[in-house]
Amino acid sequence: MSLHPRNAFLVGALLLLAVLAVVFSSIRCASGEPQDPAGSRAAQETTNEVGAPAEGASQTTALRASVIHEPLYAEGSDGKVHLEYDLVSTSVFPVPVTLSKVEVRDGDGRRLLTLEGDDLEARTQPLGDTAATREVPASGAANTLVDVVVEPDNVPKRLINRITYELPQDAPEILKALLESTTIEGPQLEVPRRAPLVIAPPLSGDGWFNGNGCCDPTPHRSFRMAVAGERFVTPETFAIDWVQVRGNSTFEGDGTKNEDYFAFGAEVRSATDGEVVDVRDGLAEETPNNDPVNVQLPLDVGGNHVVVRVRPGVYAFYGHLQPGSIDVRVGDEVETGQPVGELGNTGNSTQPHLHFQLADSPDVLTSNSLPFVIDRYTLAGSVALDRSTDTDLVVEGTPEDQEKTHPLFPSVADFR
């Protein structure tokens, strides 16, 4: 729920790994097809059993390849469709195994993605960490964040993974003798034909910077949890942390007070119609640029928040709201555009921002994030992270009107 660490220098704060999930939004399907979020949940019930192995796959390997969930996708603000899933490599060998290459092809054998070298390392992490690595620990696991990018009219029906790996040169000869292959063909994944939900913006005004979102290896994209000891979930894949930029900064003054930040106190609006099913209030504001002190329980992570049930299996989450600002109660029916509270700095947060996302359950930490697109907005540009400082944000690009796209990290959006 906090912002991307790479943006800490952009916002003058050391931002913590986010941990929340579920937010959601307006309910029109981009293609008119009904969303079936239950499918996402069902795919989890056989923990890491999503997908099928390649035919004839009977060779001994050091790794087992699996995915946490089926590919989920949305058209991004770059005009491309991004298909997202997590590819887990689990080792049964007592020595480290190094990933050499990850390839993804469509059902016709067309290569869609190749990750190797630095690119593979940048998108692979220990299962419970965000450090970049290509190493699968001895008897351990690593997770590769897969981002397959295609044209909107060319979304594949099936994805086929191939993993190539190697043992250390000094591995015992008996281990080498046990291996019949250092290439894993699979798993094969069916791509669901479910369009992302179309929502209204949860904020208004100009300069809303996606400081933590899809589809780079941000904390949101990298966050995984285990549920009930039987399955993994990715609670924040498509979640966005919104902070407001004016001129070339997110704050005025020295940035030590919440009131210094342009986003603080902004009206947060319901992005969809729906029923309020959870409200959390009473948590005090945190101090900018300091570790949170009021997060004691999982319930505290999202700070003061509102959860709206949009339809069965689709929930919208609005997090880190100001104490005493929430305008709705459990059981209320809300309409798109209706105020729900004011943007604050409560919970797992180190500067004022809105954590917004869709999820398949009202329980923020045990859900899978769902994709969404915003009906209309202007893409003002993207922050050049390598050339920006906390008091000099460089926003590049020509403003461009967008319809039914997902604002990608690190874009800046103007809302009506």
Q: What is the pTM of this model?
A: 0.88
Please report which helix (H) or strand (E) contains residue 175, including its range: helix 173-178
Tell me: pLDDT of 369 over 70.
yes
Tell me: pLDDT of 43 over 80.
no
Q: Which of 103-107, 321-325, 342-346, 361-365 bottoms out in mean pLDDT, i.e. has the lowest?
A: 361-365
* Structure confidence by residue, pLDDT tens digits, 137-162: 999 999 999 999 999 999 999 999 99
CA pair distance 296, 150, nearest whole angstrom:
42
CA pair distance 202, 200, nearest whole angstrom:
6
Tell me: pLDDT of 47 over 60.
no
Q: Which of 19-33, 108-122, 232-246 bottoms out in mean pLDDT, i.e. has the lowest?
A: 19-33
CA pair distance 391, 130, nearest whole angstrom:
27
* Structure confidence by residue, pLDDT tens digits, 10-20: 433 323 333 33
Structural tokens at position 165: 């790996």
Mean pLDDT for 321-327 is 98
Residue 2 is predicted with a pLDDT of 60
CA pair distance 370, 410, nearest whole angstrom:
19
More confident residue, 350 or 28: 350
Mean pLDDT for 177-199 is 96
Q: Which residue has the tokens 């179309």?
A: 198
Q: Identify the band that residue 391 occupies on the pLDDT scale cut at 50, 70 and 90.
A: confident
Amino acid at 81: V
* Structure confidence by residue, pLDDT tens digits, 207-232: 999 999 999 999 999 999 999 999 99
Residue 83 is predicted with a pLDDT of 98
Tell me: pLDDT of 308 over 70.
yes
Residue 24 is predicted with a pLDDT of 27
Structural tokens at position 331: 């059981």
Mean pLDDT for 271-292 is 98
On average, the pLDDT of the chain sits at: 89
Residue 52 is predicted with a pLDDT of 60
Name the H helices within 3-122.
8-11, 37-44, 117-122
**Which domains are seen in the chain, by residue range?**
5-28+196-415 (2.70.70.10), 37-190 (2.60.40.1930)
Residue 3 is predicted with a pLDDT of 61
Percent of the chain surpassing pLDDT 90: 85
Mean pLDDT for 293-306 is 97
CA pair distance 66, 80, nearest whole angstrom:
26
Contact between 393 and 248 under an 8 Å Cβ cutoff? The reply is yes
**Backbone dihedral angles phi then psi of residue 200, each to the nearest 5 degrees:** -90, 160
Q: Identify the band that residue 22 occupies on the pLDDT scale cut at 50, 70 and 90.
A: very low
Residue 364 is predicted with a pLDDT of 87
**Backbone dihedral angles phi then psi of residue 412, each to the nearest 5 degrees:** -125, 125
Residue 254 is predicted with a pLDDT of 95
